[in-house]
Amino acid sequence: MASDTLPSADSRERAEARLARLSAALEASERRLQRLEVLYNVGRALNSTLDLSTVLNQTMALATQALDAHGSSLMLLDPEKRELTFEVPHGEAAGALKQLRMGLDEGIAGWVATHNEPVLLNDVRSDPRHAGRIDSATRFTTRSLLCVPLQVGTGGQTRTIGVLEVVNKREGGFTEDDLEWLRILGGQAAVAVENARLYENLRAQRDRIIKAQEEVRHELARNLHDGAAQVLGALILNLDNVRRLVKASPRKVAGELDYLENLARQAHQQVRQLLFELRPIILETQGLVPALQAYAQQIRAEAPFEVSLATEPIPPIAREAGAMIFAVIQEAVNNAKKHAQARYVWLRLRPVNGFIQVEVEDNGVGFDVGQTMETYDQRSSLGLINMRERATLLDGRLDIYSPRPDGERGTLVRLTVPLACISV
Ligand SMILES: Nc1ncnc2c1ncn2[C@@H]1O[C@H](COP(=O)(O)OP(=O)(O)OP(=O)(O)O)[C@@H](O)[C@H]1O
Ligand SMILES: [Mg+2]
């Protein structure tokens, strides 16, 4: 009968409710799928470039778009200054945000970076951690917000390098799903940012090495031109003179030959010195202390200052480490020659409590170290930065004092290297 085959109103309602639940679940799955697809594309996009600003821009554009938000910002941590720097943000307040930096004790971003925990807020203004300063500076009102830490490394070795923040959901509020999604994006972005930064550092280091090599070649050419080449030129001229004297006045020849021998010795000494500067073989065959003794002797012969050398025996160290320490000493001595107008230069090498300490001290005019370092990128020089880089490569530190620590005029360059890293 018809009434037996038709569903009752009750069961029809149940069926409709089930259908509604199914279609809601389907919609949610579709949204999740869409987001997974975006994440997949993010992964591909972020891995396809090593350009830092592209990585940053892409991360923010994707986060804003996928979470249907008004804007996003990515802040990188400056661990030395304990500040977060806004990196090319994406969205309405972007222009004003570019110049902003905020302390780690400031705002929700600062909290996320120090606590390494994400934050989801749909009523930002009622949260005491919110930094009104940024909103006033950007004339932007933050209503809702998602913020996740950007971390690299695994296990106990994780390091926070910044935070990723998305603000003002266009419709409704942010959800736990949104937060989870942003965490995953943050994970991918952090690795991409770190890779891009490592790559930038490598490129900068490579450029500096190339520039340093160029400098060495120019210096070599200058020294050869002003030194050995001039002396050899004089030698040739005078040889011609001697040839004539042999016939005209043979008694004068012996004196002339003495003079020529002197010139030849000068040229020989200059070439040997250049060779030593370029590649101190004694460093490779006998080690740092004998190399330093030979070097001190050499500068004593030609430098306009007195040189005193104090060394104490040190344990055997790796060849490359010895070469790097020696290069730091050479640069510090060259700086004393070029800039200090000093009367004395002291060289010291000694082991101190598990470290090797090397000092080059002069009593010259000194210089403003802080100001020189601040304006370093406007100079064409490389010496100080090369010394610092070598110290870092040796896991050590470079301290430059001017005036010297005892308050006297002049400069003290001190390199301290942990023996554990360099002994063999
Ligand atoms: N011992 C020193 N006494 C006085 N001034 C110094 C001394 N060492 C460095 N300076 C100052 O610091 C500046 C930077 O030194 P740095 O070694 O980086 O460059 P540079 O010697 O001028 O050039 P480069 O080393 O690249 O050939 C020098 O130009 C000089 O003004
Ligand atoms: Mg220099």
pLDDT tens, N- to C-terminus, the chain (424 residues): 445 566 788 888 899 999 999 999 998 888 888 878 878 877 787 878 888 888 888 888 888 988 999 999 999 999 888 999 988 666 766 666 666 788 888 899 999 999 999 999 999 988 988 877 777 777 788 999 999 999 998 877 889 999 999 999 999 999 999 999 999 999 988 998 899 889 988 888 888 778 878 888 888 888 899 889 999 999 999 999 999 999 999 999 999 999 999 999 999 988 988 888 887 888 888 999 999 999 999 899 888 999 999 999 999 999 889 999 999 999 999 999 999 999 999 999 999 999 999 999 999 999 999 999 999 888 878 899 889 989 998 999 999 999 999 999 999 999 999 999 888 8
How many whole angstroms separate alpha carbon 68 and alpha carbon 178?
A: 10
pLDDT value for 152: 93
- Does pTM top 0.75 for this prediction? no
| Rounded alpha-carbon distances, angstroms, from residue 15 to 9, 28, 166 | 10, 20, 40
Does residue 25 have its Cβ closer than 6 Å to ligand 1?
no
Identify the residue whose C-alpha is closest to ligand 1 atom 20.
381
Residue-wise DSSP of 4-20: HHSPPHHHHHHHHHHHH
Strands 119-121 and 145-152: antiparallel
- Position 399 scores a pLDDT of 97
| Ligand 1 atom with least separation from CA of 380 | 26
Among 338, 341, 369, 385, the mutation site with the greatest number of ligand 1 atoms within 8 A of its Cβ is 338
What pLDDT sits at residue 89? 67
Residue 208: what pLDDT? 79
Q: What is the pLDDT of residue 1?
A: 46
Q: Please give the distance, rounded to the nearest whole angstrom, from the Cα atom of residue 272 to the centre of ligand 2.
A: 22
pLDDT of residue 53: 83
Query: Which tokens sit at 168?
Result: 């003002």
The encoded tokens of residue 11 equal 């069961």
Ligand 2 centroid from CA 277, angstroms: 14
Which class for 129: exposed (0-12), middle (13-18), buried (19 or more C-beta within 10 A)? middle
Number of continuous H segments (helices) and E segments (strands) in the chain: 15, 11
410 lines ligand 1 (CB under 6 A): no
What is the spatial distance between Cα 209 and Cα 389, in angstroms, rounded to a whole number?
A: 11
The CA 283 to ligand 1 mean position distance, Å, reads 25
Distance 338 CA to ligand 1 centre (A): 8
Q: How far apart are the first and last CA of the chain?
A: 99
Tokens representing 155 are 């296990």
pLDDT of residue 4: 57
Consecutive H or E run containing 331:
helix 319-335
